[in-house]
Amino acid sequence: MKMVFTEVMGYQEMLRTAFPHDELVMFDGPLSEEELVREAKNARVLSVFIRTRIDEEVIDRLPKLAMINTRSVGFDHIAAGYAVGRGIAVTHVPDYGPHVVAEHVFCLLLACARDLIAADRSVRKEKRFDFEPFMGLELKDKVLGVIGTGKIGAEVVRIAQGFGMTVVAFDIVRNEKLARKYGFSYMSLDEVLDLSDFVTIHVPLTPDTENLIDRDALARMKRGSILINTSRGSIVDEHALREALDMGHLAGAGLDVISDESDPAGDPMVGAEGTIITPHIAFYTRESLSRMFDRSIETIRSFTAGKRINEVPREYMGRARVPAAPHD
Ligand code: NAI
């Protein structure tokens, strides 16, 4: 069976060992649409990561494709609803370690609350050793608003307990067991924004969550609060966020994601004061990658053996366009 893998991150050997009898075509980086169509011609399985976009046109031009697999949790880079409508299985890796992302949330939050990057720069670049410009914010006894209490949000709640924070949360599906375990309350989005000193986003990017944190939502946030986004850039209206930071309404933003990660120079958040941006590294640890590849291999093997696992949740496909005719 022909299988094409993009963004293999040095895992060629593991893939070859996992699929010794298949025809594997592997690429270190992402592929453009034209490259994908050329290289994945006749492929049955296409396994990618977040920088390989698979849109409706690519799907139309790969008529032999039976399965798309992304090694990520998020699958907003794939026209998943369209592919499923064409009879193609779309799978992801729902849990290679939600704590990895949650740990990065606190890395960003602490770095914002203590102005860590600027403080380091002032010592090492400006050769100053003054504490005065860097009065920080404490986490203990502050309110953390968690938007989305799925796998990553739950890990954030767990870690927040250790800092002595009070958690308030918003999710369309309430996890009452989690709320009881950690003693937090679910509220409406507006209430969470009103009450929180820090807000962290953990919902997937779907038609319903695009611009969920819009101008009005940002205006609701407390003056001097901090927003953390490790989910997807387009969940936040970045122009409105930039304004909220420029006007001093928010004290800071810690972002691991921006709306167009292929063109950061054009993004309104790059260059914004009070902002710390990391290039989508929350998932990326020495330990997480092998789990990610393990789960991905398991998913593909299972599919080729006739059993579908780790299919992307259909309820998140929202208003995805349904194709006119199924594949032959
Ligand atoms: P999950 O599926 O376990 O949890 C998502 C939660 O969002 C669920 O509880 C769901 O009910 C809630 N939700 C969905 N739509 C909603 C809406 N319209 N309003 C309110 N709540 C809604 O997902 P998980 O594993 O927690 O991941 C969350 C997101 O984190 C992923 O979709 C991905 O975009 C992002 N991510 C980012 C990474 C990074 O490296 N920066 C790595 C992994 C994931």
Encode pLDDT of 60-88 as tens digits.
999 999 999 999 999 999 999 999 999 99
Whether pLDDT at 129 is above 60: yes
pLDDT band at 318 (very low <50, low <70, confident <90, very high): low
Output the residue whose Cα is nearest ligand 1's atom 44.
73
Phi and psi at residue 141, to the nearest 5°: 70, 10
pLDDT band at 316 (very low <50, low <70, confident <90, very high): confident
Q: Is the CB of 97 under 6 A from ligand 1?
A: no
Distance 307 CA to ligand 1 centre (A): 25
Give the whole-angstrom CA distance, residue 76 versus residue 50.
Answer: 8
Pocket probe for ligand 1: among 9, 171, 191, 209, the residue whose CB has the most ligand atoms within 8 Å is 171
**327 in catalytic set:** no
Q: Give residue-wise pLDDT tens across range 12-44.
A: 999 999 999 999 999 999 999 999 999 999 999
CATH architecture of 2-96+286-316: 3-Layer(aba) Sandwich (3.40)
pLDDT on residue 317: 73
CATH superfamily name and code, 98-277 = NAD(P)-binding Rossmann-like Domain (3.40.50.720)
Residue 223 burial by Cβ neighbours in a 10 Å radius (0-12, 13-18, 19+): exposed
pLDDT digits (tens, 9 = 90+) for 88-105: 999 999 999 999 999 999
The alpha carbon torsion through 319, 316, 203, 289 (nearest 10 deg) reads -130
Catalytic residue status for 132: no
Does the C-beta of 203 come closer than 6 Å to ligand 1? yes
**Domain range summary for the chain, segments of one domain joined by +:** 2-96+286-316, 98-277
